[in-house]
């Protein structure tokens, strides 16, 4: 394991708030940052010494970018496979191309998780109307149709209830390759935010409990209130996923908590191969923030402590015009306000967050 | 009091580590940053959306800079008066020009402090060899000759012991206008790092105890171990200084602790109208860092909590090739490593610091 020295350059694919917060954490230890993103005025550009504004399929720009940095990481899982391939030949890509290939396709992800013996919601691959009818007969109603690719914050999803027209649901998703997931009567949604170092060290933060509003994360509370056995299952699932991917960096595993006669247990819902919104509380709530931890991992540094700084924390997203409350939050004792420097507060847009440490 | 909204632009005069850490704190709440500094490759340039590389006497560049920002602050007290004047007409300068005028001249500063009834070391203005001989007769030996302007980290100072040639000391400082300070048999050096808001609110962090090595700050420990009465005197001095300057922002007041039959008391040594090296521990050791606090104050926001996050903290500077220890420090549990992105580790150069929270 070689530690990248301070003064090295970290390349980040993606210029949103996650890239911005990784860049801020990297600057604290004297790393240089080079952001690659296609959007003009990306929030991360402003806190980085260099940026490249180019499309993710611009082979020349990618080659130049990879040649100018010491390691490349990403803030989103939809990095095209070809982009990852172009970079991998020129600079270390951490986490790797395999993590991208698996997590950007819901079917591959579900098969991967199930293949590790980790429970998930029941699912079927859907490529046609015939598939969906067969699957509904097997899984029952209600069920959730999800596109295999490019879904986030509830986009690319449709609930199919008994009596609904499955063809309409498929058409609503543009007949994209999809999966059908059986209904899971979960009691809570939780996530494991964890890091795996280059030497295989695995450290997970306290479990996060996540509440959504309009399919977008609203509030994360830490520590999540779950049974010790559910907690063990969740941590074990995250550990096995990270190990199987030979993962380097921070990842998040979202899980459902379900209750049966045997008590609480968990099902893996989704893997995010990156820092995650449900880990934002770690900036003040943990000894090492998820952003600093990600930088440590991808630079080959030993991982930092994931201990809580208090007894817990809550993180509330500021979505769209929630951000208008900034002045009230700035005056609230104990509230840590974070804003991402986005110029326009569109509905559903993540503008910032507030952390309150208990 | 108007609160500057997120998305406003903060202009910073100076591009060193202090400007860099102010910029990082400002980015956390969605402020844009514009650094103004003459040196190519200034550490703060890399974390700022805009920078101007120009001399402090470039009237046109200063006017353009002031016109492009919503408020101007500075990371060093030697901003020329003319620079401050040029800016003041175009953008709010916080802290103001008066704080600069007083603190960049040791004689003006000592007279100002003494005029508030706050004890200092005995001092005399020195403009000639005759002055220094008279002053030595009055203050005795040893005494310290200091240039009135541009001294820092022990530069521009000479100790005169009995039998030394005062003319040689004066010549050693290039016959610059100076002051002679009587010897103070202090037991400790401490500092008050505090903030004053636009509404006059004053909040001081716990007292810092400072140890120097080769005239450069080496270690700050918090809280300083001093008597309650010395603590009260120190906080009162800082409060009176800030109020008299109608100060807005973070300032540091360095003091000597002396012991007499009446117990411990303090003398003011120096005022820094800016965030200060002895306040770096606040990044992890206090609920609001001095950098976030400074940004709040100059933006007209209510001040944040100055409470400790633990029971105290120590901050150790990494000077020159101390920085070569980065890998060991990165692996030390509980050590928070900060590096400033400086390319070359020259002797005496502040390359970074480490904070350990108790």
The per-residue pLDDT for range A168-178, each reduced to its tens digit, is: 999 988 889 99
For B170-280, where are the E strands, in sequence order? 178-182, 188-196, 202-204, 208-213, 216-222, 249-260, 263-272
Is B6 at the interface with chain A, CB within 8 A? yes
Residue A336 CA to residue A358 CA, distance in Å, equals 12
B186 CB within 8 Å of a chain A CB: no
Q: Kindly state the greatest CA–CA separation across chain B.
A: 61
The domain segmentation of chain A, as residue ranges, is: 9-93, 122-182, 188-357
**Which secondary-structure segment (H or E) carries B354?**
strand B350-357
What are the chain A neighbours of B337 within 8 Å (beta carbons)? 29
- Nearest Cα of chain A lies from the Cα of B23 at a distance, in angstroms, of 9
pLDDT at B321: 95
> How confident is the model at residue B89, as a pLDDT?
86
Report whether pLDDT(A1) > 80: no
At residue B206 the predicted structure's pLDDT band, cuts being 50, 70 and 90, is very high
Q: For A270-284, b where at least 16 C-beta lie within 10 A, e where not — what string?
A: bbbbbbbbbbbbbbb
Q: In the prediction, which pLDDT does A155 show?
A: 79
Crossing angle of the two packed helices B17-28 and B290-298, in degrees rounded to 10: 70
Which residues between 110 and 129 in chain B have a beta carbon less than 8 angstroms from any beta carbon of chain A? none
Report whether the peptide linkage leading into residue B95 is cis, meaning its omega lies within 30 degrees of zero: yes
Residues whose CB falls within 8 Å of the CB of residue B165, separated by 6 or more in sequence, listed in order? none
CATH of B122-182, one of 3.40.630.10, 3.30.2350.10, 3.30.1490.20, 3.40.50.970: 3.30.1490.20
With a CB cutoff of 8 Å and minimum separation 6, the contacts of A122 are A138, A139, A181, A182
| A18-66 pLDDT per residue, tens | 999 999 999 999 999 999 999 999 999 999 999 999 999 999 999 999 9
Answer yes or no: are the C-beta atoms of A94 and A70 closer than 8 Å. Answer: no
CB contact, 8 Å: B33 with chain A?
Answer: yes
Is B205 annotated as ligand-binding?
no
pLDDT of B175 reads 87
| pLDDT for position A129 | 92
What number of CA atoms fall less than 13 Å from residue B255's CA on the CB side?
31
Query: At residue B354, does pLDDT exceed 70?
Result: yes
Tell me the CATH class for B188-357: alpha beta
With an 8 Å Cβ cutoff, are B6 and A339 in contact?
yes
**Interchain CB distance below 8 Å, A30 and B339:** yes
Task: Determine the pLDDT at residue B207.
Answer: 98
Residue in B6, B47, B333 nearest the CB of A326: B6
Bridge partners (DSSP) of residue A204 are: A194
Q: Which residues of A touch B27 (CB under 8 A)?
A: 20, 24, 46-47, 341
Across chain B, mean pLDDT equals: 95
Q: Is the pLDDT of residue B159 over 70?
A: yes
pLDDT tens readout for residues A89-128: 899 999 999 999 999 999 999 999 999 999 999 999 999 9
pLDDT of residue A164: 92
CATH number of A9-93: 3.40.50.20
Question: For residue A132, what are the CA distances in angstroms to A23, A142, A172, A181, B206?
Answer: 43, 13, 14, 10, 65
State how far the Cα of B110 lies from the Cα of B113, in Å rounded to an integer: 5
A182 is in an annotated binding site: yes
> Residue A46 and residue B49: Cβ atoms within 8 Å?
yes
> For residue range B71-122, what is the model confidence (pLDDT) as tens digits?
999 999 999 989 999 999 899 999 999 999 999 999 999 999 999 999 999 9
B341: nearest CB among A24, A30, A301 = A30
CA-CA distance, B256 to A83, in Å (whole number)? 60
Best probe of the B interface among A21, A47, A53, A334, by most B CBs < 10 A, is A47
Contact between B341 and A27 using a beta-carbon 8 Å cutoff: yes
B 244-263 residues inside an 8 A Cβ radius of A: none
**Mean pLDDT to the nearest integer, B254-278:** 96
- Residue A105: what are its φ and ψ, rounded to 5°? -130, 110
User: What residue in A sits closest to B304 (Cα-Cα)?
Assistant: A333
From chain A, pick out residues whose CB is under 8 angstroms from the CB of B341. Answer: 6-7, 27, 30-32
Residues A282-326 pLDDT 10s? 999 999 999 999 999 999 999 999 999 999 999 999 999 999 999
pLDDT, residue B2, reads 87
Q: What is the pLDDT of residue A141?
A: 93
Residue A195 scores a pLDDT above 70: yes
The pLDDT score that the predictor gives to residue B1 is 62
Residue of A nearest to B351 (CA): A30
Q: Are B214 and B154 in contact (CB under 8 A)?
A: yes
> DSSP characters for B56-89?
TT-HHHHHHHHHT-SEEEESSS---HHHHHHHHT
Q: Please tell me the predicted confidence (pLDDT) of residue A175.
A: 87
The pLDDT value given to residue A39: 95
**C-alpha dist (Å) from residue B340 to A33, A164, A220:** 13, 60, 33
Q: How many CB pairs under 8 A join A and B?
A: 98
Give per-residue pLDDT as tens, A230-264: 999 999 999 999 999 999 999 999 999 999 999 99
By the CB < 8 Å criterion, does B330 face chain A?
A: yes
Q: Using an 8 Å CB-CB cutoff, list chain A residues near B33.
A: 46
CB burial class (10 A; 0-12, 13-18, 19+) of residue B160? buried
For the beta carbon of residue A157, count every other beta carbon within 10 angstroms: 18
Residue B21 is predicted with a pLDDT of 98
Print burial letters for B29-64: b (CB count within 10 Å at least 16), e (below 16).
Answer: bbbbbbbbbeeeebbbbbbbbbbbbbebebeebbee
**Res. A150 pLDDT band, cuts 50 70 90:** confident
Which of these, B344, B351, B348, B340, lies nearest to B22 by C-alpha position?
A: B340
Percentage of residues in chain B having pLDDT higher than 90: 92
């Amino acid at each position: 394991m070689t530690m990248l020295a301070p003064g090295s350059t970290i390349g980040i694919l993606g210029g949103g708030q996650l890239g911005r917060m990784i860049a801020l954490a990297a600057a604290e230890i004297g790393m240089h940052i080079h952001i690659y993103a296609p959007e003009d005025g990306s929030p991360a550009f402003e806190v980085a010494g260099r940026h490249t504004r180019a499309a993710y399929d611009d082979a020349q720009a990618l080659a130049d970018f990879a040649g100018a940095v010491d390691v490349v990481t990403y803030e989103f899982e939809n990095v095209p496979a070809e982009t990852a391939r172009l970079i991998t030949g020129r600079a270390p890509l951490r986490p790797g191309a395999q993590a991208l290939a698996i997590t950007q396709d819901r079917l591959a992800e579900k098969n991967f998780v199930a293949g590790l013996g980790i429970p998930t919601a029941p699912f079927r691959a859907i490529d046609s109307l015939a598939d969906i009818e067969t699957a509904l007969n097997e899984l029952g109603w209600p069920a959730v149709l999800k596109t295999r690719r490019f879904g986030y914050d509830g986009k690319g999803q449709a609930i199919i209830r008994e009596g609904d027209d499955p063809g309409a649901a498929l058409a609503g998703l543009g007949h994209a390759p999809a999966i059908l997931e059986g209904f899971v009567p979960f009691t809570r949604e939780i996530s494991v935010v964890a890091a795996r170092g280059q030497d295989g060290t695995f450290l997970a933060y306290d479990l996060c409990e996540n509440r959504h509003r309009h399919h977008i994360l609203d509030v994360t509370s830490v520590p999540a209130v779950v049974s010790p056995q559910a907690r063990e299952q969740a941590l074990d699932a995250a550990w096995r996923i990270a190990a199987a991917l030979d993962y380097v960096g921070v990842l998040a595993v979202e899980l459902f908590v379900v209750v049966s006669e045997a008590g609480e247990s968990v099902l893996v819902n989704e893997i995010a191969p990156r820092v995650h919104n449900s880990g934002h509380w770690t900036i003040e709530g943990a000894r090492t923030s998820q952003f600093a931890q990600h930088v440590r991992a991808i630079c080959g540094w030993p991982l930092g402590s994931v201990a809580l700084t208090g007894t817990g924390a809550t993180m509330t997203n500021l979505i769209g015009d929630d951000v208008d409350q900034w002045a009230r939050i700035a005056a609230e004792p104990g509230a840590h306000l974070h804003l991402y420097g986005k110029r326009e507060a569109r509905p559903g847009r993540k503008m910032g967050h507030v952390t309150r440490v208990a």
